[in-house]
Structure 1
């Protein structure tokens, strides 16, 4: 795995962490200025808009796949053809979505949000702005796909971070300067999205060297639909599966147990930043490579992810319960810590399965990955029902863990890369995680558990360097540079 991939992983990780931090910091001022009710309505409104991401139809990922191939072969005409075809397709579907939300937003607000007549009226006044937000979001995804397809992640993350600042701060400023009501805040948020989209679009045009507006091409649009449709199926099945555990817990055990489950789950899913940054980096690179080279990069990426992510997971397992006790109190910590430990291992497996899924999708076989999700979903629902009815919260977490393991095994088999070395490496690191689980359960004193976890994480790092030639090379290079600096 070359240094360019590692540099892009670091850039993407930073680009994921900073917007998350900005979003968390601005929540208290929003609640203080708008009040709990208005802030809750805004959260519901943006959730509703999030559902309309289905109108992307997988075009942004399809465009990224095609542009990465054309950009790598320096085919500027193909880049331009794919870009404008995806742009117009997403603009049209976004406009349709805007009309739908304009006509259906009033119904949603009246019957599903349970708000006061005053707040309902404010949402009605904001509906035209919400309608405009859908096509803006749709075409922005195409701009992002184009920039990432060219592997210009620094440009993308700079624009993405700037867009997050605008989206969080401009509505806050409008509420303070004009009026703390929904129509003002939503209008300012849509204007922020528009400004961010224009900046992202200008960056995409510059990266690809596009100077003229063109219409869509039928053959290019058809190819994008063929690829993007299966990407959409994968996205939908994963979205449903990711929320199914909470929905079934709520139906089977009640809202209190959803809280016990969701609090550690939301905390644990933050660990996804590392594999997500790797996945964002790999998709365009693997799309542009021939199969043999792509297999080699994917195998190296799995080893790299194990080496980096396993110590993080070990640390998370041993500090989870003490942190929850300080953060949310002993009751939620007592119920949530065992669940969270299972979910940490699940997140670790999901990250590795994501690498093989990206390999399959990038090599023009997204249908295979989508079919895995379609077959898995009913099996997972049945396993969740059985686990919750028999074992409660631990049963739900165990079902999530089994789903992650199923994904890992099946996608590794479908990827057809040399799996023996990868599986051996996975089980070796999994044994370290099993030891961390034992430490967290059998050492009640937090100080002793954390100390043992640190020793275990260091042992895992030594194991990774000793057994992985790629990491030994990185370690030698780092030591060589340190020696040179000391000599100087």
Structure 2
């Protein structure tokens, strides 16, 4: 893996961590200003808008794929054609979505919502802003795809971070200075999204050196739909599968067990920041490369991810229970820690599967990954039902782990990249995770478990460097730089 990829991974990781931190910090202030009920409505509103991301129809990823190829070949005209075709398609679907959310929101608020009449009136006044939010979000995804397609991740993450600051702080300021009601907060939030979208769009036009406004092209739009449609199928099946465990736990065991499961799940899924930063970096690069070179980069990325992510996962496994005890109390920690440990291994596998998935998608075969999701969904539902019915919370976690392993093995076979070598490396690292699980379960006392986990993490790092030529090269380069600085 070249240094440019590593630099972009670091940039993307920073761009994912900082907005998450800002969001967490501002939540208590929102709750104090708005109250629990209003903040709950705001949270539901943005969740609803998140579901409307399906109206993107995979266009942002399709645009990123096509722009990365055109940009790598120096075809500025093709970049411009793809950009404007994706823009107008997403603007149109976003406008339709805005009309739907306005009319549907009015109907739901009038007849089905369980809120006070005063709050219902505030929701009615806020609905036009929600309608505007959908097309703004839709075209912003195209702008983001265009910038990432050109591999200008520094520009994208600068805009994203600025947008997050605006989105979190401007509504808070409006609630404090104007009025702590829904229409004020949502209007300020949509205005913040609009400003962020304009800045992102200006950056996209500059990156691609686009100076003229153009209409969509039918042939380009068709190509984008052919790619984006399968990306949409994969996204929807993934969204359903990711929420299925909580839904079936609620139906089978009740809300109390959903809490026992969701708290550690929400915590350990934060670990996805590491593989997500890598995947965001890889997609445009793998789209622009020939298959043989793309395979080599993907194989190196899997080795790199194992070396970086396994020590993190080991540390998370051994500290999870003491952290939960300090954070949410002993009862929830007792039920949630065993589940969370298994889910950490699942997250670790999902991260690796994401690399092979993005390789397949980037090399113009998104249909293959979508079909895997379609086949997997009913199998996963059946396994969840059996696991929850017979084993409760551990059964649900085991089903999620089995799904992650299925994803990993099937996608690795479809990717056809050094399967034997990669499997040997994966199972070697998996043995370290199994040892961490044993330590966390059987060693008495958190101090003993954490101390042994630190030793195990160090041993895993040493093994990774010793067994991987690429990592040995990085280690030698680092030592050489340190020695040079000491000499100077």
* TM-score normalized with structure 1 length: 1.00
- CA distance in structure 1 between the aligned counterparts of 2:377 and 2:258, rounded to whole angstroms: 21
- CA distance in structure 1 between the aligned counterparts of 2:111 and 2:392, rounded to whole angstroms: 32
SS in structure 1 at match of 2:180: coil
Aligned 1:17-28 pairs, distance under 5 A: 17-28=17-28
Which residue matches 1:130?
130
Q: Is residue 378 from structure 1 mapped to residue 386 from structure 2 by the alignment?
A: no
Which residue matches 1:359?
359
Which residue matches 1:409?
409
In terms of mean alpha carbon deviation, does 100-109 or 206-215 score higher?
A: 100-109
How far has the Cα of 1:106 moved from its partner?
1.5
SS in structure 2 at match of 1:211: coil
- CA distance in structure 1 between the aligned counterparts of 2:428 and 2:436, rounded to whole angstroms: 13
- CA distance in structure 1 between the aligned counterparts of 2:48 and 2:472, rounded to whole angstroms: 48
CA deviation profile, 1:5-51 (whole Å, cap 9, x unmatched): 00000000000000000000000110000000000001111111111
CA deviation profile, 1:265-312 (whole Å, cap 9, x unmatched): 000000000000000000000000000000000000000000000000
How far has the Cα of 1:111 moved from its partner?
4.7
Which residue matches 2:431?
431
In structure 2, do the counterparts of structure 1 residues 486 and 418 end up closer, same or farther at CA, with 3 Å as the change threshold?
same
- CA distance in structure 2 between the aligned counterparts of 1:7 and 1:444, rounded to whole angstroms: 41
In structure 2, do the counterparts of structure 1 residues 267 and 112 end up closer, same or farther at CA, with 3 Å as the change threshold?
farther
Which residue matches 1:4?
4
Q: Is residue 109 from structure 1 mapped to residue 109 from structure 2 by the alignment?
A: yes
Aligned 1:323-472 pairs, distance under 5 A: 323-472=323-472
Q: Is residue 29 from structure 1 mapped to residue 32 from structure 2 by the alignment?
A: no
- CA distance in structure 2 between the aligned counterparts of 1:413 and 1:297, rounded to whole angstroms: 17
Contact kept? 1:67, 1:82, Cα under 8 Å: yes
Which residue matches 1:144?
144
CA deviation profile, 1:430-461 (whole Å, cap 9, x unmatched): 00000000000001210000000000000000
- CA distance in structure 2 between the aligned counterparts of 1:227 and 1:451, rounded to whole angstroms: 49
Q: Is residue 306 from structure 1 mapped to residue 306 from structure 2 by the alignment?
A: yes
Which residue matches 1:174?
174
Aligned 1:184-263 pairs, distance under 5 A: 184-263=184-263
SS in structure 1 at match of 2:206: helix
- CA distance in structure 2 between the aligned counterparts of 1:344 and 1:207, rounded to whole angstroms: 38
* TM-score normalized with structure 2 length: 1.00
How far has the Cα of 1:110 moved from its partner?
3.8
Contact kept? 1:41, 1:113, Cα under 8 Å: no
- CA distance in structure 2 between the aligned counterparts of 1:37 and 1:109, rounded to whole angstroms: 15
- CA distance in structure 2 between the aligned counterparts of 1:110 and 1:277, rounded to whole angstroms: 42
Which residue matches 1:163?
163
Which residue matches 2:40?
40
SS in structure 2 at match of 1:240: helix
- CA distance in structure 2 between the aligned counterparts of 1:116 and 1:236, rounded to whole angstroms: 34
How far has the Cα of 1:148 moved from its partner?
0.2
SS in structure 2 at match of 1:256: helix
Which residue matches 1:88?
88
SS in structure 1 at match of 2:476: helix
- CA distance in structure 2 between the aligned counterparts of 1:201 and 1:267, rounded to whole angstroms: 33
- CA distance in structure 1 between the aligned counterparts of 2:23 and 2:397, rounded to whole angstroms: 28
How far has the Cα of 1:169 moved from its partner?
0.5
Structure 2 spans left out of the alignment, 5+ residues = none
How far has the Cα of 1:112 moved from its partner?
4.9
How far has the Cα of 1:415 moved from its partner?
0.4
Contact kept? 1:81, 1:216, Cα under 8 Å: yes
SS in structure 1 at match of 2:198: helix
CA deviation profile, 1:94-119 (whole Å, cap 9, x unmatched): 00000001111122334554211111
SS in structure 1 at match of 2:216: coil
- CA distance in structure 1 between the aligned counterparts of 2:107 and 2:369, rounded to whole angstroms: 36
- CA distance in structure 2 between the aligned counterparts of 1:47 and 1:447, rounded to whole angstroms: 40
- CA distance in structure 2 between the aligned counterparts of 1:409 and 1:108, rounded to whole angstroms: 43
Which residue matches 1:280?
280
In structure 2, do the counterparts of structure 1 residues 163 and 480 end up closer, same or farther at CA, with 3 Å as the change threshold?
same
Structure 1 spans left out of the alignment, 5+ residues = none
In terms of mean alpha carbon deviation, does 375-384 or 173-182 score higher?
A: 173-182
Which residue matches 1:485?
485
Which residue matches 2:268?
268
Contact kept? 1:44, 1:113, Cα under 8 Å: no
- CA distance in structure 2 between the aligned counterparts of 1:219 and 1:462, rounded to whole angstroms: 52
In structure 2, do the counterparts of structure 1 residues 184 and 467 end up closer, same or farther at CA, with 3 Å as the change threshold?
same
- CA distance in structure 1 between the aligned counterparts of 2:479 and 2:112, rounded to whole angstroms: 60
CA deviation profile, 1:73-110 (whole Å, cap 9, x unmatched): 01000000000000000000000000001111122334
- CA distance in structure 2 between the aligned counterparts of 1:266 and 1:131, rounded to whole angstroms: 29
